[in-house]
Amino acid sequence: MWVIIKIHNKKNTVTKKVQRQNKIPKYKYLIATIFMSIIAILPLVVRLKTLMLDKDLLMYHPSQGGYITDIALYYKNIFFIVLVTLLTLVFIGERIYPDTVVKTAYSKYNTNKNYLILCGVFLLTIIISFVFSKSRAVSLLGAPNSFEGTITWIGYILLFIFSINYFDEEFYRVFLYKAFTVLIIFISIFGIVEFFYKSPLDMSIFQYIILPKEYWDQIGTLEITSYFGQISLTLFNPNYAGQFLALGIPILLSIGFTRLEKKWYKTFYLILVGVAAFVLILTGVSAAIYACLIGCIFMVFVHHNRKFSRRMVLSFLVTIVLVLVTSPIKETKLVDAMLADFSNENRPTTYNFQIKEINLEDDGVEFTGLGRQFKVKYDEENNEYIFYDSLKRPINYIRNDNTYIFTDSANVEIRLDQYDNYFLVDLGYKGPMHFGYVDGQYYAIGVNGSLIDEINNDYTDLNRSLFNFATGRGYIWNLSLPLLKETIIKGFGADSLVFHIPQDDFVGKLTYHGTPVMIIDKPHSMFLQIALSFGIVGLISFLLILMFYFKSSYLIYKNKENVKAYNRDLYIVFIGITTGIICYLICGGFYDSSITLAPLFWIVLGMGVSINNKLMLKDSSN
């Protein structure tokens, strides 16, 4: 009897020992929660913030008494910095005070040293560019309309490094799949409500959450949404909403194609992909729509799997049904959305007075258009304005109080509004130009009342139709590309491009964007943004990271039979991640990096590297 009890107790001891070995440490749940928060919560963070504009930006960003407001970016940035800081502390802490020996994934795979070296170079260029930036105060946390400063970019690189390490374990990958799915559900619901009703940000119940208490007396009257006819969700801009879905739909397709034994799982993801594609159409972002189409064609080609192709077709049938059912409610304009960047409707209008030059002269402000010219002069003695044609002959006008209306030699109507020695001239563009006569000299008036004593007319050539490309991005690239010669080793610093991209080109802004007061603070291309912000060396390090990733992806695809035999579901997710990254990068050629979406991209890229490492290691062992 005693012997039997002894054996039984020994068996229990062994079982408890195995359970202790298999028990997941609690800090791993903390790590998973941080990643889930970055993925599923950060893009949804919206909160009004009023802050003092840095003095270095007073000439570049409109403000009210020196104060600016932000609702979609500032707190996202702070939330991101806090989460990455916490993740960094946990990463360090689990190596200083480990319950057991904690191994990293970096030592398991030889390719990881390449990523770590390139990340080190990238981090170095970010820091050096910050040190030499024109305004370190601005570059540290970022500028308005972006808030993507030096600390944020350092956070991106750290997040990528941590993702390579942690997503080597299936434990963390499962949490990412869940968080990603939850985010897609929220974004889809949010997008449909915003398009067919109104943005939840404009609803009173949500404004109690996103507005500080001092604004509660205005709840119900505030309209926060600014992109009419397109949906921006909580991502600040329709472009980022479209780019997010272009990144997410291929990954969602892959997640839904795993665990095929569960019918409810397949059906759920099939419908969710269709709804997400429908919301992508509602954003009206053509580059993202095309990128997603390219990605889906790529996935069909890579998979060579009838079941996968059938599921993709079924998902997009859901999209088509939604388009057809909802069109009577509100026209979705599917074709218009796909052609938006290339249609004449979205190109800058050809205005009657096609401005060519604006010159501030001693005897007035001279406006020269195609085949026409006139000059405005301030008469101090009579406190009124006089107009002359190209032959210096007076032009008759009609005056109504402080408004002057006259026609030029081509019978184009011009309007001038007088505010004593300050005046605005409306040539029929989207916005007027402001000028002043101060101490005997004529000035153009810039942001926050700044005086500009010279207008540069040398940037643009009106015959270059490529400047209209992609809704005026060609013009912005024309201003930005020449700056690359100044950023070979180091860049201008994160969020510092507003100081270097020419802002005094009134003619170009009017011609290609319809208003002279537009501030160009971004080059509207993630690759150009990196090159200008952190130098060409920084861009090369980023491109090499991508090159190593796509090289490993190609090798995995080349030996797909061995890899699929090892882990079919992981191979399917690998294809989804690779495709999503391709879609994101296609959009990145037209959109800047943004705190609303970039953290998700760096996590996905890091997980893609970790999955490729596992699949390549198994393939080489085979």
Query: pLDDT tens digits, residue range 257-289?
Result: 887 667 778 889 999 999 999 999 999 888 999
Tokens at 446, concatenated: 């810039």
Residue 474 domain flag: no
Structure confidence at residue 23 (pLDDT): 73
Give the C-alpha separation, 51 to 69, whole Å.
6
- Diameter of the chain by CA atoms? 124
Confidence (pTM): 0.90
> Is the same domain home to 335 and 380?
no
Q: Domain range spanning residue 600?
A: 22-342+524-621
Residues with Cβ within 8 Å of 142's Cβ and at least 6 positions away in sequence, in order, are 77, 148, 149, 152, 494, 495, 595
Whether residue 27 has pLDDT greater than 90: no
Indicate the helix (H) or strand (E) that contains 361. strand 355-361
Residue 460 domain flag: no
Structure confidence at residue 351 (pLDDT): 61
Tokens at 53, concatenated: 């504009």
Average pLDDT over every residue of 492-506: 89
> Is the same domain home to 539 and 607?
yes
> Is the same domain home to 111 and 146?
yes
Indicate the helix (H) or strand (E) that contains 456. none
Residue 17 domain flag: no
Average pLDDT over every residue of 212-241: 82
Look at the chain and count its residues.
622
Q: Burial of 24 by CB count in 10 Å (0-12 exposed, 13-18 middle, 19+ buried)? A: exposed
Neighbours of 292 (CB within 10 A): 28
User: Which amino acid appears at position 21 of this protein?
Assistant: Q
Structure confidence at residue 339 (pLDDT): 47
**Interval 230-254: pLDDT, tens:** 788 899 899 999 999 999 999 999 9
Identify the CA nearest to 278 among candidates 314, 240, 321: 321
Residue 566 domain flag: yes
Give the C-alpha separation, 570 to 562, whole Å.
12
- DSSP structural state of residue 419: E
> Is the same domain home to 128 and 152?
yes
**Interval 48-99: pLDDT, tens:** 999 999 888 888 888 888 899 899 999 999 999 999 999 999 999 888 876 6
Structure confidence at residue 328 (pLDDT): 79
CA 233, 236, 237: angle at the middle one, nearest 5?
85
Residue 359 bridge partners (DSSP):
366
Determine which of 151-155, 500-504, 578-582 has the lowest per-residue pLDDT on average. Answer: 500-504
DSSP 189-216: HHHHHHHHT--GGGSHHHHHHHS-GGGG
Highest mean pLDDT among 207-216, 269-278, 422-431, 555-564: 269-278
Radius of gyration of the chain (CA): 29
> Is the same domain home to 316 and 394?
no
CB 479 within 8 A of CB 532: no
Whether residue 449 has pLDDT greater than 60: yes
Residue 517 domain flag: no
Which of 428, 462, 491 is at the close of a domain? 428
> Is the same domain home to 325 and 366?
no
Tokens at 72, concatenated: 């979609």
Which of 402, 428, 454 is at the close of a domain? 428
Which of 400, 428, 456 is at the close of a domain? 428
> Is the same domain home to 336 and 371?
no
> Is the same domain home to 361 and 262?
no
Residue 455 domain flag: no
> Is the same domain home to 334 and 382?
no
Structure confidence at residue 244 (pLDDT): 96
Number of folded domains that form the chain: 2
**Interval 380-430: pLDDT, tens:** 888 889 998 888 889 889 999 899 998 876 677 889 999 988 999 998 888
Neighbours of 329 (CB within 10 A): 9
Structure confidence at residue 576 (pLDDT): 95
Residue 230 domain flag: yes
> Is the same domain home to 134 and 282?
yes
Mean of all residue pLDDT scores within the chain: 86
Q: Output 494 or 64, whichever has higher pLDDT.
A: 494
Q: Output 394 or 344, whichever has higher pLDDT.
A: 394
Q: Output 3 or 445, whichever has higher pLDDT.
A: 445
DSSP 339-358: TGGGSGGGSPP--SS-EEEE
Highest mean pLDDT among 188-197, 214-223, 364-373, 601-610: 601-610
> Is the same domain home to 411 and 338?
no
Residue 476 domain flag: no
Average pLDDT over every residue of 326-331: 76
Mapped onto helix, strand or coil, the DSSP state of residue 390 is: coil
> Is the same domain home to 606 and 531?
yes
Structure confidence at residue 15 (pLDDT): 47
**Interval 112-146: pLDDT, tens:** 999 999 999 999 999 999 999 999 999 999 999 89
